[in-house]
């Protein structure tokens, strides 16, 4: 059996985080979900800064845009400019439908931009679609589970 896929969810809404957790728990593909509530914690998690020294290296990041302290675009810029992190695919999962947010996310090298529906059934469908593509059909990059700072 292969190793579970490590997923980092960056989401400040506890309800949306819980729904994503439930949807991914029903996944056929083995996965482990880590959740952080803002962009600053996401960057600390990814760089294994104090408090996150034993954080797993994610194979995939699900990123909300509208968060306190450091928004999703700022996280994208940080991750994609870091040679040790830039290969990790990032799916922007947000309620925003703004053309500006979509364009800016892709300019900052997001791998996908998906609108988070407000309807519960549609939300589960979206998470299953992410699962089908990113955990099933696509091949995620092989990234070292421990970076040079380990």
Domain ranges of the chain: 8-137
- Residue 149 has a pLDDT of 45
Query: What is the average pLDDT across 37-58?
Result: 96
- For residues 74 and 118, give the distance between their C-alpha atoms in angstroms, rounded to a whole number: 24
C-beta separation of 85 from 46 below 8 A: yes
| Closest by CA position to 62, among listed 145, 126, 148 | 126
Please give the structure tokens belonging to residue 125: 């469908």
pTM: 0.91
Tokens encoding 79? 């991750």
- Domain at 8-137: CATH code: 3.40.50.2300
Write b or e for each residue in 63-100: b if 16 or more Cβ atoms lie within 10 A of its Cβ, otherwise e: bbbebeebbbbbbbbbbbeeeebeebbbbbbbebeeee
pLDDT digits (tens, 9 = 90+) for 59-101: 999 999 999 889 999 999 999 999 999 999 999 999 999 999 9
């Amino acid at each position: 059996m292969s190793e579970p896929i490590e997923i980092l969810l960056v989401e400040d809404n506890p309800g949306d985080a819980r729904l994503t957790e439930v949807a991914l728990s029903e996944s056929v593909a083995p996965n482990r979900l880590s959740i952080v509530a803002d962009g600053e914690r996401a960057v600390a998690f990814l760089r294994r800064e104090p408090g996150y020294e034993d954080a797993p290296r994610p194979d995939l990041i699900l990123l909300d845009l509208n968060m306190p302290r450091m928004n999703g675009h700022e996280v994208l810029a940080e991750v994609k400019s870091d040679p040790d992190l830039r290969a990790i695919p990032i799916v922007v999962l947000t309620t925003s439908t703004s053309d500006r947010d979509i364009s800016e996310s892709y300019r900052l090298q997001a791998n996908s931009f998906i609108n988070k529906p407000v309807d519960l059934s549609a939300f589960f469908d979206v998470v299953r679609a992410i699962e089908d593509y990113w955990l099933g059909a696509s091949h995620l990059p092989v990234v070292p589970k421990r970076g040079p700072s380990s």
